[in-house]
């Protein structure tokens, strides 16, 4: 058999389980008779362009190394946020030099754009490299797939930590408003995941504001004041991306921020602004907590379901390529909520790139400050189970490139 080599890259913002998908891809390649070596592109597609390429085959033929990679946070190979323009020939020249037959790209919305462009170029130029996208994003905002690898672990961090904050916030005998900010630029999946903190005793969070709903500062203050009449400990969760009825980010109404390479406004700090407003308007004691990058890198509290699925979808990406599929993305199709069951399928990349999946309006309460039980039924299976972390000297053991 004529064996070809494979190359894999990671792109966009990291997650707690993007390396589990990498481990799945590597393992799939190592086990495939059709594949000889599996290479890693360091810093995503830029690693291909700069020939910053490492051979992963030997290190990860070792089961222990593979297991360690699976639970290691962030992008083992490094990442980039490069939007391709016309560097296609350069990329395929490098592929030819390394005898690449398979290219796997693990990433979010913007990374699937790269998969699409490269697969179009390959098709137009009769280049037989199989190109498969493997989704990831803590934001869970990719269309087609039931959910994205990375979301479940971020959701478990959010739910766990909010439960712990609810305990902490309840210790004093006076009104305290705690405003917590989660990631999620335009889609409120992670913000909604805060509702998973509730266990029948802990009823926090008490107010949840998704970016899908026009944010009205006056209604927000009214909601808090109304709640303060019946309880002292008020936990509020807001998305970093809440915006007013004109589509203006609440954050931008108060301060200027930069934009990233894809033209997205970079958000952070809206909880501080809201805390200030609540303090001035109500006189209550207010705390604000920004989960920041912790929600995408705290692998010590990853969801086992998420980690296992991330590994599986990587493996299935390789299987798809071996079957001859290209210009596609692998994704999850849920077949049952209870018991939870998902299967991995693949779809043409042309049908996926650059679409943003929002939390359905029907899953948001009519008061627009909470989510319905349909959301809970959807999200609960995704945060189940804990990964096995090895601790060395009191801290988790992870691997590096």
**Residues found near its own copies in the complex (CB under 8 A):** 10, 14, 43, 46, 72-75, 78-81, 156, 159-161, 163-165, 167-173, 196-197, 199, 201-202, 269, 272, 287, 289-290, 292-294, 296-301, 303, 380, 383-386, 391-398, 400
User: What crossing angle do the helices spanning 18-31 and 63-71 adopt, rounded to 10°?
Assistant: 150
Q: Which is nearer to its own copies, 46 or 113 (CB)?
A: 46
Please, what is the minimum distance in Å from the beta carbon of residue 274 to its own copies?
15
Q: CA-CA distance, 12 to 192, in Å (whole number)?
A: 23
What does each C-alpha distance from 376 to 12, 80, 83, 269, 303 come to in angstroms? 28, 33, 35, 27, 16
User: Hunting for tokens 């086992």 — which residue is that?
Assistant: 304
Q: Which is nearer to its own copies, 197 or 330 (CB)?
A: 197
Please, what is the minimum distance in Å from the beta carbon of residue 135 to its own copies?
17
Contact 25, 320 (CB under 8 A): no
Q: Omega before 339 cis (within 30°)? A: yes
Encoding tokens for residue 145? Answer: 């797939």
Please, what is the minimum distance in Å from the beta carbon of residue 389 to its own copies?
8
Please, what is the minimum distance in Å from the beta carbon of residue 85 to its own copies?
18
Q: CA-CA distance, 257 to 242, in Å (whole number)?
A: 15
Q: Which is nearer to its own copies, 352 or 387 (CB)?
A: 387
Instruction: Identify the burial level of 114 via C-beta atoms within 10 angstroms of its C-beta, where 0-12 means exposed, 13-18 middle and 19 or more buried.
Output: buried
Choosing from 55, 93, 113, 139, which is the catalytic residue? 139
Instruction: Identify the burial level of 325 via C-beta atoms within 10 angstroms of its C-beta, where 0-12 means exposed, 13-18 middle and 19 or more buried.
Output: middle
Q: CA-CA distance, 370 to 191, in Å (whole number)?
A: 10
Please, what is the minimum distance in Å from the beta carbon of residue 188 to its own copies?
19
Radius of gyration of the chain measured on its C-alpha atoms: 22
Please, what is the minimum distance in Å from the beta carbon of residue 236 to its own copies?
15
Q: What are phi and psi of 338, to 5 degrees?
A: -145, 100
Q: CA-CA distance, 31 to 6, in Å (whole number)?
A: 12
Please, what is the minimum distance in Å from the beta carbon of residue 164 to its own copies?
4
Q: Which is nearer to its own copies, 144 or 269 (CB)?
A: 269
Encoding tokens for residue 236? Answer: 């509020």
Encoding tokens for residue 132? Answer: 């498969």
Residue 146 designated active-site? no
Contact 237, 228 (CB under 8 A): no
Q: CA-CA distance, 339 to 335, in Å (whole number)?
A: 9
Instruction: Identify the burial level of 266 via C-beta atoms within 10 angstroms of its C-beta, where 0-12 means exposed, 13-18 middle and 19 or more buried.
Output: exposed
Please, what is the minimum distance in Å from the beta carbon of residue 162 to its own copies?
9
Measure the CA angle with vertex 353, ends 44 and 239; round to 5°. 85
Q: Which is nearer to its own copies, 9 or 101 (CB)?
A: 9
Q: Which is nearer to its own copies, 114 or 161 (CB)?
A: 161
Q: Which is nearer to its own copies, 164 or 350 (CB)?
A: 164
Q: Which is nearer to its own copies, 126 or 393 (CB)?
A: 393
Residues designated catalytic = 139
């Amino acid at each position: 058999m004529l064996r070809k080599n494979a190359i894999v890259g990671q792109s966009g913002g990291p997650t707690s389980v993007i390396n589990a998908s990498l481990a799945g891809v590597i393992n799939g390649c190592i086990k495939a008779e059709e594949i000889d070596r599996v290479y890693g592109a360091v810093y995503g597609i830029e690693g291909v362009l700069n020939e910053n390429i490492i051979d992963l085959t030997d290190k990860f033929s070792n089961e222990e190394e593979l297991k360690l990679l699976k639970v290691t946070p962030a992008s083992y190979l490094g990442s980039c946020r490069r939007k391709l323009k016309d560097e296609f020939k350069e990329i395929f020249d490098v592929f030819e030099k390394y005898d690449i037959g398979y290219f796997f790209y693990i990433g979010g919305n913007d990374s699937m754009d790269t998969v699409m462009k490269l697969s179009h170029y390959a098709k137009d130029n009769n280049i037989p490299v199989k190109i498969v996208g493997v989704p990831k994003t803590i934001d869970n905002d990719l269309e087609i797939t039931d959910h994205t690898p990375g979301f479940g672990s971020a959701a478990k961090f959010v739910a766990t930590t909010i439960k712990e904050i609810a305990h902490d916030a309840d210790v004093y005998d006076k009104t305290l408003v705690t405003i917590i900010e989660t990631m999620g630029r335009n889609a409120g999946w992670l913000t909604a995941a805060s509702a998973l903190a509730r266990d029948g005793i802990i009823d926090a969070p008490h107010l949840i504001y998704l970016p899908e709903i026009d944010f009205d500062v006056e209604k927000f203050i009214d909601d808090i004041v109304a709640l303060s009449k019946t309880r002292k400990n008020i936990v509020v969760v807001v998305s970093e991306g809440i915006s007013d009825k004109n589509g203006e980010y609440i954050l931008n109404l108060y301060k200027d921020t930069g934009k990233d390479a894809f033209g997205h406004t970079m958000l952070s700090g809206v909880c501080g602004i809201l805390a200030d407003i609540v303090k001035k308007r109500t006189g209550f004691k207010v705390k604000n907590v920004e989960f920041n990058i912790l929600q995408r890198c705290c692998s010590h509290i990853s969801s086992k379901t998420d980690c296992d699925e991330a590994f599986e979808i990587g493996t299935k990406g390789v299987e798809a390529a071996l079957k001859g599929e290209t210009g596609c993305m692998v994704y999850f199709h849920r077949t049952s909520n209870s018991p939870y069951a998902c299967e991995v399928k693949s779809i043409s990349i042309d049908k996926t790139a650059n679409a943003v999946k929002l939390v359905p309006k029907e899953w948001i309460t009519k008061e627009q400050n909470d989510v319905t039980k349909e959301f809970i039924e959807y999200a609960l299976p995704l945060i189940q189970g804990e990964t096995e972390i090895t601790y060395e000297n009191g801290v988790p053991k992870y691997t590096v490139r």
